[in-house]
Amino acid sequence: MRIRIALLMVFFFIPAGAAAQATPTDSIIEQLQRRIDSLARVVMELERAGARAEEPADELAALRAAALAARAEVPEAETSQTSRTRSLQRLNPEISASGDLVGNIIAPAGEDIEFAAVPREFEFSFQSALDSYTNTKIFLTQHQDFEIAGLAHEEEVAEEAHGLEIEEAYIYWVGLPGGVGLKLGKIRQDIGLYNRWHTHALNEIERPLAIQSLLGEDGLVQTGASVSLPSFVLGPATQTVTLEVAQGSNLELFQDSHGMSYLGRFQSFIDLGSSAIQLGVTGTTGQNHEALLNSNLLGFDFSYRWTPGASRYRDFSLKGEWYISEQTQSGIDFRAQGGYGQANLKLNQRLVLGARLDYFEGYEGEAPVYQLVPTISWWQSEWVRLRLQYNYLTSNDVGGNHTLLLQTVWAMGPHKHETY
């Protein structure tokens, strides 16, 4: 079609004066012959240009045809089959590690000043999603005790190193029917505000005095099962209920019993926009038949947090817990109680100021013990944290005991400074 149009244009647009300018001796046939020769040359040029324009399209069509032919030769089973296993990289667990170094200067009442430095804890964390429904976490720790002036039970075991131990190792299910959560293994039980937190992530270097005395230095860690019921809204608050059953292996509560212990926790959370309030109550009970021991513990906790405006790195928190422990052994009743109040002010992304006040009354009717613990924490980066802490401990029986501590915590891996 393009060739025909070009011919018509040539016929109609060749100057009409060409014939008029011919010499008288030229015949009409010669004029026509020259015009035909000129038209033939134009046709040949147009045909060559058309051929060159069609070559790329022909090559592209040839490549497409070759690709379709190669695809047709592949067996159907090879194209539709998918791998049922994860890649080797995804099969590996997520591994993290943290270190906790503590140096202290102690000045017990009426005694000489002493200095010590201990690698308080090294922790190795292994976490992995096993399948679409279950995950696992395993924490291995090696820790060494350090001394705080005025605590007799601390002085007896100070600087005692422990081998590599399993701090936690459990499997947990997500997405169960009804929104129920299930956890099986050696777990930090859901009591109070900080029992689930690992030691290196606490707001102070050590746990509050009452918790150490009633639950041990590491808190309540036992082997069993934990069930978290679906949260529900009641009034302005969101309510959460957790039920747990475990072997009563805690030394302070159950004297390393082979019997069962039971725990229940009710928690209420109220979101007030720029601030939030959380209230909780926890009860645990268990028996040690060999020691003729019946042990019950009741705990109350509260938490308030305020964040000014849309600030990410500034907030103020006020927290506290109170515990009442009652034990009956060989027909004799014992009672202990204590708690703490804690305040933390985060000034910016790196600097946090804090203070904690402890109170504890022991089982044997000893004089109450008080402890004041101010802290300054500096986050050098998300991997490194430095903390300066002062402990002032006193009771009616003894004078003031002073301890100055410097802590350095560092971490590596995908779960840096994970609380729990």
CATH code of the domain covering residue 137 = 2.40.160.10
Domain that includes residue 45, residue range: 2-70
Mean pLDDT of the region 254-259: 88
Instruction: Give the distance, in angstroms, between the CA of residue 282 and the centroid of all CA atoms in the same chain.
Output: 25
The model's confidence at residue 156, banded by pLDDT at 50, 70 and 90, is very low
Dihedral sign, Cα of residue 38, residue 43, residue 44, residue 45: positive
Q: Which of 53, 70, 87 is the last residue of a domain?
A: 70
Q: Rounded to an integer, what distance in angstroms lies between the CA atom of residue 171 and that of residue 182?
A: 8
Q: Which of 35, 70, 105 is the last residue of a domain?
A: 70
Region of residue 255 (phi > 0: left; psi between -120 and 50: alpha; otherwise: beta): left
Instruction: Tell me the average pLDDT of the chain.
Output: 85
163 belongs to a structural domain: yes
Domain co-membership, 202 together with 53:
no
86 belongs to a structural domain: no
The model's confidence at residue 260, banded by pLDDT at 50, 70 and 90, is very high
Query: Given this model, what pLDDT does residue 71 score?
Result: 67
Structure tokens at 370: 């008080």
Q: Which of 23, 53, 70 is the last residue of a domain?
A: 70
Domain co-membership, 257 together with 199:
yes
Give the residue with greater pLDDT, 374 vs 93. Answer: 374
pLDDT at 359 exceeding the cut of 80: yes
Contacts of 318 (CB under 8 A, 6+ apart): 303, 304, 305, 341, 342, 343
pLDDT tens, position by position, 113-151: 999 999 999 999 999 999 888 999 999 999 898 899 888
Region of residue 203 (phi > 0: left; psi between -120 and 50: alpha; otherwise: beta): alpha
367 belongs to a structural domain: yes
pLDDT at 19 exceeding the cut of 50: no
Domain co-membership, 108 together with 64:
no
Lowest mean pLDDT among 15-24, 124-133, 151-160: 15-24
Mean pLDDT of the region 59-75: 67
Q: Which residues of 109-142 are buried (b: 16+ CB within 10 A; e: fewer)?
A: eeeeeeeeebebbbbbbbbeeeeeeeebbbbbbb
Mean pLDDT of the region 373-401: 92
Q: Hey, which bits of 1-151 come out as E strands? A: 94-107, 114-129, 134-143
80 belongs to a structural domain: no
Torsion of CA 124, 194, 130, 264, to 10 degrees: 140
Number of domains present in the structure of the chain: 2
Torsion of CA 76, 78, 79, 82, to 10 degrees: 130
Decide: helix, strand or coil at residue 100: strand
374 belongs to a structural domain: yes
Domain co-membership, 112 together with 64:
no
Query: Given this model, what pLDDT does residue 305 score?
Result: 96
Domain co-membership, 101 together with 63:
no
Q: Rounded to an integer, what distance in angstroms lies between the CA atom of residue 247 and that of residue 257?
A: 7
Q: Rounded to an integer, what distance in angstroms lies between the CA atom of residue 183 and that of residue 195?
A: 16
Mean pLDDT of the region 43-63: 64
245 belongs to a structural domain: yes
Domain co-membership, 154 together with 55:
no
Structure tokens at 407: 């802590």
Instruction: For the chain, report the end-to-end CA distance as a whole number of angstroms.
Output: 79
Query: Given this model, what pLDDT does residue 57 score?
Result: 53
What percent of the chain is modeled with pLDDT above 90?
A: 61
The full DSSP string for 278-320 is: EEEEEEEEEEETTTTEEEEEEEEEEEEEE--TT-SS-EEEEEE
Domain co-membership, 11 together with 135:
no
Give the residue with greater pLDDT, 372 vs 175. Answer: 372
Q: Rounded to an integer, what distance in angstroms lies between the CA atom of residue 388 and that of residue 378?
A: 9
59 CB neighbour count, 10 Å cutoff: 10
Domain co-membership, 210 together with 338:
yes
Domain co-membership, 100 together with 34:
no
Query: Given this model, what pLDDT does residue 81 score?
Result: 47
Query: Given this model, what pLDDT does residue 364 score?
Result: 82
Question: Could you give the count of Cα atoms lying within 13 Å of 66 in the half-sphere of its Cβ?
Answer: 6
79 belongs to a structural domain: no
Give the residue with greater pLDDT, 299 vs 174. Answer: 299
Query: Given this model, what pLDDT does residue 367 score?
Result: 86
Domain co-membership, 55 together with 105:
no
Q: Which of 335, 339, 334 is nearest to 359 (CA)?
A: 339
Mean pLDDT of the region 375-403: 92
Query: Given this model, what pLDDT does residue 163 score?
Result: 79
pTM higher than 0.85 = no
Query: Given this model, what pLDDT does residue 415 score?
Result: 78
Domain co-membership, 275 together with 407:
yes
60 CB neighbour count, 10 Å cutoff: 10
Query: Given this model, what pLDDT does residue 14 score?
Result: 42
Q: Rounded to an integer, what distance in angstroms lies between the CA atom of residue 146 and that of residue 113?
A: 15
88 belongs to a structural domain: no
Q: Rounded to an integer, what distance in angstroms lies between the CA atom of residue 205 and that of residue 57?
A: 75
Structure tokens at 209: 């005095």
- Burial class of 365 by CB neighbour count within 10 A (0 to 12, 13 to 18, 19+): exposed
The model's confidence at residue 13, banded by pLDDT at 50, 70 and 90, is very low
Which helix (H) or strand (E) is 67 found in, with range? helix 28-73
Domain co-membership, 58 together with 140:
no
Counted residue by residue, the chain has a size of 420
